[in-house]
Amino acid sequence: MTARSLPTVETPAALCEAGLQHFRDGRHPDARACCEQALAIDAEHADTQHLMGLLFLHAEQYNDAMAWIVRAIQRAPKPEYLASFATALQRYGRFEEALNVLDKAIQLRPDDAALWRQQGDIRIQLGRLDQAVLSLQHALQLGPNHQDALYKTGAVLHKLGRNEEAIAYLDLSDTLFPDHAPTLEARAWTLYNLKRFAESEAEARRAHQLAPDNADICNNLGLSLRRLGRNDEALAWFEKAIELRPEFVDAFDNRLVALFHLHRFDEVFALSDQMKSLGLSNIVTEWNVTLAQLLTGDFESGWRGHQTRLKLPSAKYPRFPRPMWLGEDSVEGKTILVAADEGLGDTIHFVRYVPLLAKRGARVLLVVQDPLHRLMSDLSGVSLCAPTSNLSTLPDFDMHCPISSLPLAFGTRLDTIPADNPYLPSPPDRLVQAWDNRLGPRTRLRVGLVWSGDPGHVNDLTRSIPLRTLSRILDVDATFVSLQKAPRPSDAAVLRERHDIVDLTADLTDFTETAALIACLDLVITVDTSVAHLAGALGCPTWILLPWTPDYRWLLGRDDSPWYPSVRLFRQSETREYESVLDRVRDELRARAAAFGSGSL
Average pLDDT, the chain: 94
Segment 12-22 shows an average pLDDT of 95
Range name among 172-176, 251-255, 453-457, 565-569 with the lowest pLDDT average: 453-457
Question: In the prediction, which pLDDT does 1 show?
Answer: 43
Q: Which amino acid makes up residue 77? A: P
Q: Which residues contact 294 (CB under 8 A, 6 or more apart)?
A: 302, 303, 306, 552, 553
Tell me the mean pLDDT in the region 235-261.
97
Torsions phi, psi for 114 (to 5 deg): -65, -35
What percentage of the chain exceeds 70 in pLDDT? 98
Q: Mark 215-247 as b/e (b = at least 16 C-beta within 10 Å).
A: bbbbbbbbbbbbbebbbebbbebbebbbebbee
φ, ψ of residue 449 to 5 degrees: the values are: -130, 135
pLDDT recorded at residue 457: 81
Whether the Cβ atoms of residue 343 and residue 327 lie closer than 8 Å to each other: no
Cα–Cα distance measured from residue 473 to residue 488, given in angstroms and rounded to the nearest whole number:
20
Residue 9 has pLDDT above 90, yes or no: no
Mean pLDDT, to the nearest integer, of 24-35?
95
Half-sphere CA count of 457, side-chain side, radius 13 A: 18
In the chain, the percentage of residues whose pLDDT exceeds 90 is 92
Q: Report pTM.
A: 0.87
- The residue-averaged pLDDT of 198-209 equals 97
Sheet of 363-368, strand order: 382-387, 363-368, 335-339, 399-402
- Predicted confidence at residue 210, as pLDDT, reads 97
**Mean pLDDT of the region 467-482:** 96
Dist CA 47 CA 76 (whole Å): 9
* Alpha-carbon span 553 to 231, nearest angstrom: 22
Eight-state DSSP code of residue 43: T
Cβ atoms 547, 572 nearer than 8 A:
yes
- DSSP H helix total and E strand total for the chain: 29, 10
| Count of Cβ atoms closer than 10 Å to residue 414 Cβ | 10
**What was the pLDDT predicted at 284?**
94
**Superfamily of segment(s) 429-598:** Glycogen Phosphorylase B; (3.40.50.2000)
Q: Which residue type, as a one-letter code, is found at position 481?
A: V
Contact (Cβ atoms closer than 8 angstroms) between residue 272 and residue 285: yes
Instruction: Give CA–CA dist 414/337, Å, rounded.
Output: 26
**Residue 27 to residue 21: CA distance in whole angstroms:** 9
CA 131 from chain centre, in angstroms, equals 24
- pLDDT for 224 equals 97
Tens digits of residue pLDDT in 384-410: 999 999 888 899 999 999 999 999 999
Measured between its terminal Cα atoms, the distance across the chain in Å is 99
541 pLDDT more than 70 = yes
Confidence tier at 460 by pLDDT (50, 70, 90): confident
* Ramachandran angles phi, psi of 93, nearest 5°: 85, 15
Is 96 in a helix, a strand, or coil? Answer: helix
Closest CA to 34 of 57, 72, 8: 8
The residue-averaged pLDDT of 308-326 equals: 93
What pLDDT score does 461 carry?
Answer: 85
Span 545-596, pLDDT tens digits = 999 999 999 999 999 999 999 999 999 999 999 999 999 999 999 999 999 8
pLDDT 10s digits, 99-126: 999 999 999 999 999 999 999 999 999 9
Angle at 344 between CA 518 and CA 536, to 5 degrees: 40
pLDDT band at 454 (very low <50, low <70, confident <90, very high): confident
Q: How confident is the model at residue 145 (pLDDT cuts 50, 70, 90)?
A: confident
Using alpha carbons, select from 219, 197, 217, 198 the residue that is nearest to residue 208: 217
pLDDT tier at 217, thresholds 50, 70, 90: very high
Of 198, 143, 200, the closest CA to residue 166 belongs to 200
| Mean pLDDT value across residues 458-476 | 93
Return contacts of 588-593, CB within 8 angstroms, 24+ apart: 588/543, 589/447, 589/473, 589/476, 589/478, 589/523, 589/525, 590/476, 590/477, 592/445, 592/523, 593/444, 593/445, 593/476, 593/477, 593/478
Mean pLDDT calculated for residue range 208-219: 98
pLDDT (tens digit, 9 = 90+) per residue, 265-311? Answer: 999 999 999 999 999 999 999 999 999 999 999 999 999 999 999 99
In this structure, are residues 47 and 13 in contact, taking their beta carbons and an 8 Å threshold?
yes
Question: What is the DSSP secondary structure assignment for residue 560, as one 8-state letter?
Answer: B
Q: Are 528 and 451 in contact (CB under 8 A)?
A: no
Closest CA to 446 of 334, 553, 524: 524
Please tell me the predicted confidence (pLDDT) of residue 8: 53
CB atoms within 10 A of CB 155: 25
Strand order in the sheet with 567-571: 501-503, 479-482, 446-450, 523-527, 542-546, 567-571
d(CA 352, CA 477): 35
| DSSP assignment letter at 159 | H
DSSP 228-269: TT-HHHHHHHHHHHHHHSTT-HHHHHHHHHHHHHTT-HHHHH
User: Which residues have a Cβ under 8 Å from the Cβ of 269 and sit 6 or more positions away?
Assistant: 289, 292
Q: Are 197 and 168 in contact (CB under 8 A)?
A: no
Domain boundary assignment for the chain: 335-416, 429-598
Cβ contact 479:502 at 8 Å: yes
Q: How confident is the model at residue 598 (pLDDT cuts 50, 70, 90)?
A: confident
Which DSSP state fits 318? Answer: P
- CB-CB contact of 419 with 562 (8 Å): yes
Distance separating alpha carbons of residues 407 and 349, to the nearest angstrom: 10
